[in-house]
Structure 1
């Protein structure tokens, strides 16, 4: 019995020391995880903050065709998608169901659009246009044909001296596009 008591005391001390070691290791791991989480949250905050300072093209449509135009463009360009969409509701200043505000990407470039409930004295102008560098002649021709359908050709595809091949069109929604072959 005399030998058992010291062994019990020793084993209790060992268990307590082992538990303390495990607890210390766990606390250290938790602190590292918390630090990593805090760093990730800070980086996410920085990324979100930097995105708010980007420049995006904003297209104001006055014929309640913003969604039609946005979908037309998204289907035309690679790497394109709707990011967010908010519609005018019932009893709002815009037509119910039309786009109050949408954000989308065309080939990873940020765009926004809306259906304006107010008829303005201005509309789109060719003086401000979207400039597209095309990878090859096939892409250039496809974009030129699709964008000029029901629109207006301002400069047909040609070599104008500043580019191998260039075209300038206004699409069916009144938005202007300069198309250039790299």
Structure 2
């Protein structure tokens, strides 16, 4: 295997838009950036401006792929699968947690749970993030 890249399918019919997620996720980390974005073609059934496929870098070379689904699915995002982030320090952890929490839900508020500073948040798109601090920075 060369790499594994998480793929997030958003549902515009539920108010989840890949373009909004791209803007948020690339702003979270200093070196976040959009690498590519392809719109759905006319006639696909997707709303105007919907993203067929995008790839972003969210920091330290870590990538995510995102897409707006042109159809509504019965499923939604599950907190049973999370994106784990080793933050550089507690300041970054607090900043990222606060940004993800806007319109989202704190699954576990930022605190020291005995294994170091930790927080778990489900963002406004339904994506679950677990935020720790890299062990060498605790």
Q: Same fold (TM over 0.5)?
A: yes
Q: Alignment partner for residue 7 of structure 2, among 58, 61, 73?
A: 58
Q: CA deviation at 1:89?
A: 2.1
Mapped to 2, the partners of 1:134 and 1:54 lie a distance apart of 21
Tell me whether 1:154 sits opposite 2:107 in the alignment.
Answer: yes
Q: 1:10 maps to what in 2?
A: none
Q: Which runs of 4+ in 1 moved over 3 A?
A: none
- After superposition, residues 121-140 of structure 1 pair within 5 angstroms as 121-140=74-93
Cα RMSD for the two superposed structures: 1.3
Q: CA deviation at 1:96?
A: 2.7
Contact 1:83 1:102 in 2 (8 A): yes
> Which structure has greater strand proportion?
2
Higher-RCO chain (CA-CA 8 Å, sequence separation at least 6): 2
Mapped to 2, the partners of 1:92 and 1:134 lie a distance apart of 39
> Which structure has greater helix proportion?
1
The CA deviation string for residues 61-102 of structure 1, in whole angstroms up to 9 with x for no partner, is 002511111111101112111111110122223223210111
Q: Tell me the TM-score normalised to structure 2 length.
A: 0.88
Mapped to 1, the partners of 2:126 and 2:76 lie a distance apart of 8
Uncovered stretches (5+) of structure 2, i.e. residues with no partner? none
In the comparison of the two structures, how many residue pairs are matched? 130
Q: 1:95 maps to what in 2?
A: 47
Mapped to 1, the partners of 2:3 and 2:45 lie a distance apart of 28
Uncovered stretches (5+) of structure 1, i.e. residues with no partner? 1-49
